[in-house]
């Protein structure tokens, strides 16, 4: 029996979700209705609830140093619901460039992800750990969304992360931006194949042996190193 075939059903489901998560630059509308289904208040409430749940799951990321007494986690997420997204676009129409009008139109929520750097320069050496922890929380969020049938797009288009934009979204001065996370219903598979815009590196993935894994040990004589 190979090690992977001994995974529990839950473990296998986690693997499936990790692999299934993909960048979806076209989303099919905000709500968790079946494709073509009505956008009812109930469907909208279900979507909002699922996003809130996913944010709660995101918070289980590892982090190394308490950032503040009240909120030790270094990440901060600003959740914009559909109304807030409309108000955001009305206030910052310059964000509607390139493919962003389409993604704004199809998303049901937008999460602005930031992290809180150290105030004291003597502790600035911790900042990379804060950023790494916050990125782990972002990935948790994307996976938790995927598990709930919510598609996502992690976008770092510069107009979405200006100090004015972040301040409007409630960020404290100095918070550093990790990106804007668009969330919504994925296109059905057959439409995704035609209309979907995948991440440009999606199909450039390599197996570990191609070079990004260096095995230290594994039968080699580590004393020779």
Q: Would you count residue 18 as binding ligand FMN (CB under 6 A)?
A: no
Q: Would you count residue 22 as binding ligand FMN (CB under 6 A)?
A: yes
Both tokens assigned to 56: 């709660």
Nearest to 167 by CA among 58, 88, 71: 88
Q: 121, 91 in Cβ contact below 8 A?
A: no
Task: Tell me the C-alpha distance between 96 and 62, whole Å.
Answer: 34
**Which residue in the set 2, 10, 121, 200 belongs to the binding site for ligand FMN (CB under 6 A)?**
200
Q: Would you count residue 84 as binding ligand FMN (CB under 6 A)?
A: no
Binding residues for ligand FMN, total number by CB under 6 A: 13
Binding range to ligand FMN, per CB under 6 A, among 1-9, 48-56, 66-74, 150-158:
150-158
Q: Would you count residue 155 as binding ligand FMN (CB under 6 A)?
A: yes
Binding range to ligand FMN, per CB under 6 A, among 82-90, 119-127, 143-151, 196-204:
196-204
Closer residue to ligand FMN, CB minimum distance, 90 or 201: 201
**Which residue in the set 154, 175, 176, 181 belongs to the binding site for ligand FMN (CB under 6 A)?**
154
The residues near 42 (Cβ < 8 Å, ≥ 6 apart) are none
The residues near 86 (Cβ < 8 Å, ≥ 6 apart) are none
Task: Output the CA–CA distances (angstroms, integers) from residue 8 to 3, 16, 117, 143, in the order listed.
Answer: 11, 12, 39, 18
Q: Would you count residue 132 as binding ligand FMN (CB under 6 A)?
A: no
**Which residue in the set 179, 184, 186, 196 belongs to the binding site for ligand FMN (CB under 6 A)?**
179
């Amino acid at each position: 029996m190979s090690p992977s075939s001994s995974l529990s059903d839950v473990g296998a489901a986690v693997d499936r979700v990790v692999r299934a998560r993909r960048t979806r630059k076209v989303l099919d509308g905000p709500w968790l209705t079946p494709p073509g289904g009505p956008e009812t208040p109930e469907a909208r409430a279900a979507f909002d609830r699922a996003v809130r749940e996913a944010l709660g799951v995101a918070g289980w990321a590892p982090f190394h140093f308490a950032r503040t007494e009240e909120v030790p986690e270094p990440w901060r997420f600003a959740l914009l619901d559909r109304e807030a997204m409309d108000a955001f676009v009305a206030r910052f129409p310059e964000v509607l460039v390139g493919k962003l009008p389409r993604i704004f139109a199809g998303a049901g929520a937008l999460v602005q992800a930031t992290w809180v750097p150290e105030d004291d320069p003597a502790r600035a050496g911790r900042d990379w750990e804060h950023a790494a922890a916050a990125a782990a929380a972002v990935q948790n969020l994307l996976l938790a969304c995927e598990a709930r049938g919510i598609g996502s797009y992690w976008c770092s288009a510069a107009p979405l992360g200006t100090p004015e934009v972040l301040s409007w979204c409630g960020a404290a001065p100095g918070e550093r931006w990790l990106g804007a996370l668009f969330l919504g219903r994925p296109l059905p598979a057959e439409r995704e194949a035609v209309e979907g815009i995948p991440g440009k590196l999606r199909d450039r993935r390599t197996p570990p042996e191609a070079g990004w894994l260096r095995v230290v040990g594994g039968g080699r004589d580590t004393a020779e190193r």
